[in-house]
């Protein structure tokens, strides 16, 4: 099967930022997945360089436009390299191969009467490169909410493309091919827009010379969309190139929702007029918005340097964050602390921790040699069934262009694996002579699960598989999509390594953040995260560095962990400051998106309170309801995941075991404990 995927060509008027990276990262994940499935993939991205604004920006910097765009294009290419984008081609609309095809198409459309010469008059905003009709202007200025600048009345001779002529053909096509524009909400918008009537499109300008000249009338240059959209076939050497015959029509044009209109209206009409088949899918995803709700853009000052972010957190983590955070049909929220949150919880705690724990145990109990598995128990059987199911769902979600959904499903497997470690308790098996064969099976299952995780996460995080195969002591050839549902790939006897943590936890406060206002936000969040870390480890005390509280050590070592040293002496007065009370648990529920946290509604001395506690991996919410527990009643409230937690529940913990302190006999909720 062939698979042709494109991103829009980006406008090189400024360096790319993380908000613009989403489309390319998502397209890359789809391209990688299809390659792994064995499809013949062509992945195109590029830059849109023939705009008047480029000339103005270059002039403003005292540069020749070509020299200026060359520089910006290098930044784009460098960013795609840093993000491990695996594009097969990068087209620049200043290239001769593109000019040639645009000229041919323009001439053909003119000769068949679909392009005609007329006169254009309108209010023109140069920064937006848009003509506005008088009634659209706001106070006589550009109505674009991001702009609002002066506009000028321009009248000029122009060529026009007959969009109106093909309006009904396009409507019929969209109705007959409901899959053509997605998500559905975008298709409905487009249908309404087309039904409202299409105006012919201005496709040439005479007020500037930068761009592609109209071959039969060289004072005109081809204007914006007719030029830009053609990149999708000029890159394939339309109409006679081998690539064109092989890869057109595209399986998907991927883009942000703001430019769906051009791809779902102008582009198909150009193709219909040329008698060329239409792409199979135009997919418009949402935007990344800043925490305050606005679009991320340079002019709003909420952009961070992408290179610095990658340097700080690694490209896999950035890719994971972008892909996980943008839900289908909605916008995503970008902020550095969201990113760190995802990195710490999903990558360091869930995925990274599973890999380190399991490898550490293979090293500890079998000298790093993967043992031979014997018979499965119900636990392994359940794991394997889940793995099949998850693989099918990851595929289904990727086919539906929903990377967030794919990752969500994959993480069901990751969570199950962490639970499997606790359920099988290899550290206990290791101590029993009769359980050695069982321990071998568990350790072999760990190794296979790590290999499967490397395969299923490869489209999203391309660096991870390489790291994992090195730890497993195998070749990259072990990363085969079809092997993600097999558990008999790793031969006994392979030597594994414990290695460094794959995703070290990040403490945001270590970074010196430039803006003071920003710093405040981040400080609050860091404190919040620290509180959370403490809540997740109730046996620990405040004041330790957060990374020390994180379970990156193998539980095998934990289970045999030394007891914590007894703390320094305090006086009875010190102890009297701590107000311990009996509380009754009225209700309990999981905190969304936080695997370790439970939100408890309790009653103390006739009053209700809320406490967030890091015990979700040890107690189901319903187990706690009705219990009489002990709380620190005068602990300063802290905010955890947006919930104000008023106090702390006491629990005893050692190794991987945790027990909440509760009373055998009922006693009034509010009774003092001393």
User: Which of 300, 256, 248, 258 has the alpha carbon at shortest distance from 278?
Assistant: 248
Provide, rounded to whole angstroms, the least separation between the CB of residue 261 and Zn ion. Answer: 17
Closer residue to Zn ion (CB): 141 or 364: 141
Helices 463-472 and 353-366: crossing angle, nearest 10°?
A: 10
Provide, rounded to whole angstroms, the least separation between the CB of residue 128 and Zn ion. Answer: 3
Closer residue to Zn ion (CB): 128 or 663: 128
Q: Does 137 bind Zn ion (CB under 5 A)?
A: no
Closer residue to Zn ion (CB): 148 or 492: 148
Question: What's the CA gap between 240 and 457, in Å, rounded?
Answer: 38
Return the number of other C-beta atoms located less than 10 Å from residue 236's C-beta.
24
Question: What's the CA gap between 589 and 597, in Å, rounded?
Answer: 9
Provide, rounded to whole angstroms, the least separation between the CB of residue 141 and Zn ion. Answer: 8
Structure token pair of residue 261: 């209109």
Of 105, 125, 439, 442, the one binding Zn ion by CB under 5 A: 125
Distances (CA, A) of 474 to 38, 372, 464, 494, 534: 21, 16, 14, 8, 38
Provide, rounded to whole angstroms, the least separation between the CB of residue 348 and Zn ion. Answer: 44
Provide, rounded to whole angstroms, the least separation between the CB of residue 389 and Zn ion. Answer: 50
Q: Which one of the spans 126-134, 364-372, 517-525, 633-641 is the region binding Zn ion (CB under 5 A)? A: 126-134
Closer residue to Zn ion (CB): 134 or 399: 134
Question: What's the CA gap between 535 and 101, in Å, rounded?
Answer: 62
Rounded to the nearest 5 degrees, what angle is found at the Cα of 287, between the Cα atoms of 285 and 289?
155
Closer residue to Zn ion (CB): 132 or 161: 132
Provide, rounded to whole angstroms, the least separation between the CB of residue 150 and Zn ion. Answer: 9
Closer residue to Zn ion (CB): 147 or 635: 147
Question: What's the CA gap between 454 and 469, in Å, rounded?
Answer: 8
Classify residue 402 by burial, with Cβ atoms within 10 Å: 0-12, 13-18, 19+. buried
Q: Which one of the spans 14-22, 120-128, 192-200, 642-650 is the region binding Zn ion (CB under 5 A)? A: 120-128
Classify residue 358 by burial, with Cβ atoms within 10 Å: 0-12, 13-18, 19+. buried
Provide, rounded to whole angstroms, the least separation between the CB of residue 154 and Zn ion. Answer: 14
Size of the site for Zn ion (CB under 5 A): 6
Closer residue to Zn ion (CB): 16 or 143: 143
Provide, rounded to whole angstroms, the least separation between the CB of residue 132 and Zn ion. Answer: 8
Percent helix, strand and coil across the chain, each rounded to 5? Answer: 45, 20, 35
Q: Does 228 bind Zn ion (CB under 5 A)?
A: no
Question: What's the CA gap between 519 and 510, in Å, rounded?
Answer: 11
Provide, rounded to whole angstroms, the least separation between the CB of residue 146 and Zn ion. Answer: 8
Show Cβ contacts of residue 120 under 8 Å, excluding neighbours closer than 6 positions.
131, 154, 155, 156, 157, 158, 160, 202
Q: Which one of the spans 135-143, 470-478, 490-498, 635-643 is the region binding Zn ion (CB under 5 A)? A: 135-143
Provide, rounded to whole angstroms, the least separation between the CB of residue 124 and Zn ion. Answer: 9
Pairing of strands 115-125, 152-161: antiparallel
HEC secondary structure over 41-78: EEEEEEECCCCHHHHHHHHHCCCCHHHHHHHHHHHHHH
Site for Zn ion in 246-305 (CB under 5 A): none
Question: What's the CA gap between 109 and 417, in Å, rounded?
Answer: 59
Where b means 16+ CB within 10 Å and e means fewer, 377-398 reads eeebeebbeebeebbebbbebb
Which secondary-structure segment (H or E) carries 533? helix 516-536
Closer residue to Zn ion (CB): 129 or 157: 129
Provide, rounded to whole angstroms, the least separation between the CB of residue 40 and Zn ion. Answer: 43
Question: What's the CA gap between 266 and 194, in Å, rounded?
Answer: 11
Site string for Zn ion, 530-569 (x = CB under 5 A): ----------------------------------------
Question: What's the CA gap between 434 and 526, in Å, rounded?
Answer: 47
Provide, rounded to whole angstroms, the least separation between the CB of residue 137 and Zn ion. Answer: 10
Closer residue to Zn ion (CB): 299 or 520: 299
Distances (CA, A) of 52 to 11, 152, 534: 11, 15, 56
Q: Which one of the spans 95-103, 127-135, 217-225, 481-489 is the region binding Zn ion (CB under 5 A)? A: 127-135
Closer residue to Zn ion (CB): 147 or 489: 147
Provide, rounded to whole angstroms, the least separation between the CB of residue 142 and Zn ion. Answer: 3
Site for Zn ion in 144-183 (CB under 5 A): 144, 147
Structure token pair of residue 585: 């648990």
Q: Does 142 bind Zn ion (CB under 5 A)?
A: yes
Distance of CA 347 to the CA centre of its chain: 12
Q: Which one of the spans 125-133, 331-339, 517-525, 619-627 is the region binding Zn ion (CB under 5 A)? A: 125-133
Q: Which one of the spans 138-146, 396-404, 514-522, 551-559 is the region binding Zn ion (CB under 5 A)? A: 138-146
Q: Which one of the spans 136-144, 300-308, 507-515, 568-576 is the region binding Zn ion (CB under 5 A)? A: 136-144
Pairing of strands 40-47, 2-10: parallel
Structure token pair of residue 278: 């239409």
Q: Which one of the spans 118-126, 204-212, 258-266, 463-471 is the region binding Zn ion (CB under 5 A)? A: 118-126
Closer residue to Zn ion (CB): 141 or 463: 141
> Helix (H, G, I), strand (E, B), or coil: what is residue 654?
strand
Provide, rounded to whole angstroms, the least separation between the CB of residue 300 and Zn ion. Answer: 15
Closer residue to Zn ion (CB): 128 or 632: 128
Of 128, 276, 494, 559, the one binding Zn ion by CB under 5 A: 128
Closer residue to Zn ion (CB): 35 or 53: 53
Closer residue to Zn ion (CB): 123 or 321: 123
Residues engaged in binding Zn ion (CB under 5 A): 125, 127-128, 142, 144, 147
């Amino acid at each position: 099967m062939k698979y042709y995927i494109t991103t829009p060509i980006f406008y090189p008027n400024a360096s790319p930022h993380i908000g613009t990276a989403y489309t390319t990262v998502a397209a890359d994940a789809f391209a990688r997945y299809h390659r792994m499935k064995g499809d013949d993939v062509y992945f195109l991205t590029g830059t849109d360089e023939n705009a008047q604004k480029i000339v103005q920006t270059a002039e403003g910097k005292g540069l020749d436009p070509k020299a200026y765009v060359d520089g910006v294009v290098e930044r784009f290419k460098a960013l795609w390299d840093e993000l491990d984008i695996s594009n097969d081609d990068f087209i620049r609309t200043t290239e001769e191969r593109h000019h040639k095809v645009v000229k041919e198409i323009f001439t053909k459309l003119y000769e068949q009467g679909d392009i005609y010469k007329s006169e254009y008059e309108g209010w023109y905003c140069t920064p937006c490169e848009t003509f506005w009709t008088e009634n659209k202007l706001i106070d006589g200025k550009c109505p674009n909410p991001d702009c609002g600048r002066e506009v000028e009345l321009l009248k000029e001779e122009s060529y026009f493309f007959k969009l109106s002529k093909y309006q009904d053909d396009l409507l019929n096509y969209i109705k007959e091919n409901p899959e053509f524009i997605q998500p559905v909400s975008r298709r409905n918008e487009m249908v309404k827009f087309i039904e409202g009537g299409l105006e012919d499109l201005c496709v040439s300008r005479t007020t500037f010379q930068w761009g592609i000249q109209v071959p039969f009338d060289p004072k005109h240059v081809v204007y914006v969309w007719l030029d830009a959209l053609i990149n999708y076939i000029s890159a394939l050497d339309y109409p006679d190139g081998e690539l064109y015959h092989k890869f057109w029509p595209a399986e998907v044009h991927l883009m942000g929702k703001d430019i769906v209109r051009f791809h779902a209206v102008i582009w198909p009409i150009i193709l219909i007029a040329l008698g060329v088949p239409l792409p199979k899918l135009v997919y418009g995803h949402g935007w990344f918005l800043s925490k305050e709700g606005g679009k991320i853009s340079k002019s709003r000052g909420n952009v961070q340097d992408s290179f610095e972010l990658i340097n700080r957190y690694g490209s896999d983590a950035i890719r994971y964050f972008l892909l996980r955070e943008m839900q289908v049909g909605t916008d995503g929220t970008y902020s550095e602390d969201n990113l760190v949150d995802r990195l710490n919880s999903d990558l360091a705690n869930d995925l990274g921790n599973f890999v380190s724990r399991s490898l550490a145990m293979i090293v500890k109990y079998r000298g790093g040699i993967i043992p031979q598995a014997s018979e499965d128990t119900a636990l392994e059987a359940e794991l394997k069934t889940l793995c099949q199911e998850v693989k099918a769902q990851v595929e289904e979600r990727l086919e539906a262009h929903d990377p967030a959904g794919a990752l969500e499903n994959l993480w069901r497997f990751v969570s199950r694996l962490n639970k499997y470690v606790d359920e099988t308790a290899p550290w206990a098996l290791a101590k029993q002579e009769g359980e050695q064969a069982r321990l071998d099976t568990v350790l072999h299952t760990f190794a296979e699960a790590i290999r499967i995780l490397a395969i299923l996460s490869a489209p999203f995080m391309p660096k991870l598989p390489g790291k994992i195969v090195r730890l497993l002591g195998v070749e990259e050839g072990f990363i085969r999509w079809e092997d993600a549902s097999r558990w008999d790939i790793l031969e006994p006897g392979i030597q594994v390594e414990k290695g460094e943590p794959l995703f070290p936890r990040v403490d945001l406060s270590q970074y010196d953040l430039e803006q003071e206002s920003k710093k405040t936000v981040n400080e609050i969040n860091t404190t919040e995260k620290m509180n959370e870390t403490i809540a997740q480890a109730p046996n620990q005390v405040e004041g330790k560095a957060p990374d020390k509280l994180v379970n990156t050590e193998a539980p095998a070592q934990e289970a045999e962990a030394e007891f914590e040293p007894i703390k320094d002496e305090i006086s009875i007065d010190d102890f009297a400051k701590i107000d311990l009370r009996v509380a009754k648990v009225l209700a309990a529920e999981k905190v969304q998106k936080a695997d370790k946290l439970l939100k408890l509604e309790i009653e103390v001395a006739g009053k209700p309170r809320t406490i967030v506690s890091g015990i979700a991996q040890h107690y189901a919410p319903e187990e706690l309801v009705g219990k009489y527990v002990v709380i620190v009643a005068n602990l300063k409230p802290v905010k955890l995941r947006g919930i104000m937690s008023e106090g702390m529940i006491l629990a005893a913990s050692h190794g991987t075991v945790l027990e909440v302190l509760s009373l055998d006999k009922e006693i009034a909720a509010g009774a003092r404990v001393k």
